[in-house]
Amino acid sequence: MSDIVLSLENVGRVFEQGSQPLEILKNVNLQIKAGEVVALLGQSGAGKSTLLQIAGLLEPPSSGKVIVNSVDCTGSSDRKRTEMRRDEIGFVYQFHHLLPEFSALENVMMPNLISGISRKQAQEKATILLDMMGLSHRVTHRPAKLSGGEQQRVAIARALANDPSLLLADEPTGNLDEQTSDLVFENFVSSLKSRNVAALVATHNTELAARMDRIVQVRDHQLIQ
């Protein structure tokens, strides 16, 4: 079985803006292997978020192919793409998007409960993930009682709850101070490596990008490697 988790082949994205087409991405090619953490750089508006959405099957490309674990998802039905996102892909955003009425443990349990896993199993998995993030002492706390860095670590644990093979992150430390950002980043990368998860991480932080396995950059609608 191929160790290539994500493959983008000649991906393009064009939006219709009035009567004029607006080209965002052109002939993007990218492969990411299991356990590889790739930094995605680019100026604001360059198309990083669009690329992540296409890779995460949230938005279809205008041209080209999106292949996840050897499955060509380009022409898949909405149901199939939803299943692939549920089973294969995790997402982490700049803002944690935790459910405020639930504890850290319950937030991390949620993806497993939605997938039909028993509450006992979901709780066991969530406890292990939060411990891995250094949050075993905060499992009963709701988001409002957690610091920004703690909230983001809960969000990372939640993204790993369904054992994804691919994780996509959009500025996962962009809302944190430098010291907290560094701590969250270390937790983030170590958890990906220990689980052999492929990751594409959009960031403006060139220092953090340099600590990933390699860097790709969106420039002039194309991906520079």
Contact 176, 149 (CB under 8 A): yes
Task: Give the total number of structural domains in the chain.
Answer: 1
- DSSP code of residue 144: G
* CATH number assigned to the domain comprising residue 78: 3.40.50.300
Structural domain for 18, as ranges: 4-224
Rounded Cα distance, 158 and 156, in Å:
5
Dihedrals φ, ψ of 61, to 5°?
-75, 155
Q: The pTM is what? A: 0.88
152 C-beta neighbours (distance < 10 Å), count: 30
For 200, the enclosing helix (H) or strand (E) is strand 198-202
pLDDT in tens, the chain (225 residues): 469 999 999 999 988 877 788 888 999 999 999 999 999 998 877 888 899 999 999 989 999 999 999 989 988 888 888 888 888 999 988 777 899 999 999 999 998 888 888 999 999 999 999 988 888 899 999 999 998 888 888 998 898 898 999 999 988 777 777 777 787 788 788 889 988 999 999 988 888 899 999 999 998 888 888
